[in-house]
Amino acid sequence: MSQPDSSQYTWAGRFAEPMSDLVKRYTASVDFDRRLWRQDIRASLAHATMLARQEIIARQDLADIERGMALVVEEIEAGTFVWSLDLEDVHLNIEKRLTTLVGDAGKRLHTGRSRNDQVATDIRLYLRDAIDDILALLDQFQNRLLDLAEKEAATPLPGFTHLQVAQPVTFGHHLLAYFEMMRRDAERFADCRRRTNRLPLGAAALAGTSYPIDRSFVADLLGFEGVCENSLDAVSDRDFAIEFCAASALVMMHLSRLSEELVLWMNPRFGFIRIADRFCTGSSIMPQKKNPDVPELARGKTGRVYGHLMALLTLMKGQPLAYNKDNQEDKEPLFDSIDTVTDTLRIFADLIAGVSTRPENMRDALRQGFATATDLADYLTRKGLPFRDAHAAVGLAVRHAEEQGVDLAALSLADLQGFSPLVADDVFAVLTVDGSLAARNHVGGTAPEQVLAAIARARRA
């Protein structure tokens, strides 16, 4: 009876014919999951250590496995390791090479585990490492935001609602809004890490194993905070990957909002900032162009991360327990989300450090938008006029100033008193941009001293 080569396929004994080349290419994952090799080896060594400790394999087997894995690491790092599509994935490639190097000890490594719990463990280890990197990058980006915010703590900037000039804020205060977004993002990633940091190994294919394993020992070796309590859930759960992609979608959304503002602010019609040349490109036909390609690409890459979140949700929504081959499709969306968030945070930390402001243009914009109109309404209210009446009076004053082509502060005292007899000489102090900023002197307000206080609190945190 014809049989496939059982040395090539670990499961080949059951089959009467070899896998077709088309199916081999369709089902193989080694081209993208080979990036898990470090995590796969770490988990395998921990598993082997436990097997020897429990006397499931001999101490000499453990020594041989450790020696062989050290050689595998050297080959992969040197670029001499041969990755084979025939061996489907990173796990079988490493196991096959190990067996070639150390013989039967390599074959004993898989005792008491399945590729199902093996891959679930590797992904969690990989994602845990990635989250640690992202948290460090978020910290770096937040510090760069604080550096620029501190420098521009008193620089007036038009605050917008509906993209129309609303009230004066400071550029530093505006940047601190993004700091708060990133603070929440860091909390979400840290929270996701806690749920990711549970050990699936020991669940085997779906029902656990008959060997006397010690899962808690392996969890401790690998730095997991605990074990997955149910073997069915352990091998089929991908909530942690979905949660990571959700957190990634949020941080990219925040970076996309910042990107949109950077693009607008750089436009000559605004002219609020300059972005360093190293983050921009030119035009193939228009010599004068300086294009903000990095923020534009960040906006675009946000969409692909959103797509990965939807892909993983859709991947999991119809799966019965326990493991299904569908789950092989979790890796590419997850890996690309990790890469996209990591690269974007890294470049934005440098980009923000290279932003310079053009305060004169910001002040010009504030003069064009009647930004202190609310301050005039508050002034009248403090004089005893009900706010709704004050609102109506200031609306008439704004219409008059607009017809005259001047700002509210440029109207004469007599003009202003024509809209309310409560107006006195002290009105002009509240109509200045600096006066408006200084008046918002409370926690969370845009007064420069409050901005500096917020920065100090943020640095302590």
pLDDT digits (tens, 9 = 90+) for 75-104: 999 999 999 999 999 999 999 999 999 999
Structure tokens at 100: 């070639």
pLDDT of 4 strictly over 50: no
Q: How far apart are CA 293 and CA 211, in angstroms?
A: 57
What is the rounded average pLDDT for all residues in the chain? 95
Pairing label, strands 164-170, 156-161: antiparallel
Question: Rounded CA gap, 193 and 184, in Å?
Answer: 14
| pLDDT exceeds 70 at position 9 | no
- Which residues, 6 or more positions from 3, have their beta carbon under 8 angstroms from its beta carbon? 12, 13, 16
pLDDT of residue 2: 43
**What is residue 234's predicted lDDT score, i.e. its pLDDT?**
98
Model pTM score: 0.93
Per-residue model confidence (pLDDT) at position 7 = 45
Give catalytic residues, as residue numbers: 162, 283
Average pLDDT over residues 122-131: 98
Considering only CA atoms, which of 232, 233, 230, 239 is closest in space to residue 194? 239
105, two tokens: 């000890």
Q: Looking at residue 246, what is its pLDDT?
A: 98
3-class state of residue 219 by DSSP: helix
What was the pLDDT predicted at 364?
Answer: 94
pLDDT in tens, 386-405: 999 999 999 999 999 999 99
Q: Which band of pLDDT confidence, cut at 50, 70 and 90, is reported for residue 132?
A: very high
Instruction: Give the tens place of pLDDT for each residue, 195-229.
Output: 999 999 999 999 999 999 999 999 999 999 999 99
Domains in the chain: ranges and CATH: 21-111 (1.10.275.10), 116-158+169-363 (1.20.200.10), 367-460 (1.10.40.30)
Whether 253 contacts 341, CB under 8 Å: no
pLDDT at 11: 62
pLDDT given at position 6: 42
DSSP assignment of 376-421: HHHHHHHTT--HHHHHHHHHHHHHHHHHHT--GGGS-HHHHHTT-T
